[in-house]
Amino acid sequence: MPIKSYLAHPHIGKKNELAETLSKIDQCEVMPAENKNVIVLVTETDTDQEDEQLKEKLETIPSLKLLALVSGFNTPSPNKN
């Protein structure tokens, strides 16, 4: 189950819009910086395929200028015994 963190750089003046869009996506958790034009994004998906799909979806968000990966983890699913 991939967990990844990114720095999401919005287009100028679009930080709030980007934060709102990202926070509406189930697999996303966001932390906008107080005083800089950047948002910390953590994604959590069930499979690598879902992770890929999410990444593709994120890249189509109009207010997003650049998505930079910081860390990636893979953990066991809570449903597995």
Partner 1 sequence: MDQAITNRRSFIKKMAMLSAMTAAASMFPGILFADQQEAGIPSGANLDWKKGPCRFCGVGCGILVGTENGKAVAVKGDPNCQVNKGLLCVKGYHQTMCIQSKDRLTHALVKKNGQYVKTPLNEALDIVANKMKETIEKHGKDSVAMYTSGQSTIPEGYVASKLMKGAIGTNNLDCNARLCMASAVAGFLTTFGADEPMGCYEDIDHADYFITWGNNMAEMHPVLFSRMLEQKTRRDAKIIDFATRTSRSSTASDKSILFEPQTDLAVGNAICYEIINNGWVNTSFVEKHCNFSKGLTNMGYGIEDNYKFSDKPSKIDFEAYKKFLEDYTPEKVSKYSKVSVKDIKYLAAIYGDPNKKVVSYWCMGMNQHTRGTWMNNLVYNIHLLTGKISQPGNGPFSLTGQPSACGTAREVGTFTHKLPKGVVMNEKHRRLAAKIWKVPYERIPAKPTYHATEMFRAVDRGDIKFIWTQVTNPLVSLPKTSRYRPGMEKDSCFVVVSDVFPTPTSDVADVILPASWHIEKSGLYGNSERRTQHWNKMVEGPGETTPDAWMTIEVAKRMGFGDLFPYSEENHVEEIYNEYRQFHEGAKHGMAPLEVLKKESGVIWPYVDGKSTQWRFNAKYDPACSNGEDFHFYGKPDGKAVIWQRPYEPAAESPDSEYPFWLNTGRVIEHWHTGSMTRRIPVLHKAMPHAYVEFHPDDAKVLGIGNGENVKVISRRGSCILPASINERGLPTKGQVFVPFFDENMMINDVTLDAFCPISKEPDYKKCAVKVEKV
Of these, 16, 20, 31, 62, which contacts partner 1 (CB under 8 A)?
Answer: 31
Binding of residue 42 to partner 1 (CB under 8 A) = yes
Query: Least distance (Å) from partner 1 to the CB of residue 63?
Result: 18
Binding of residue 63 to partner 1 (CB under 8 A) = no
Nearer to partner 1, 26 or 34 (CB): 34
Can you give the three-state secondary structure of the chain, one letter per residue? CEEEEEEEEECCCCHHHHHHHHHCCCCEEEEECCCCCCEEEEEECCCHHHHHHHHHHHHCCCCEEEEEEEEEEECCCCCCC
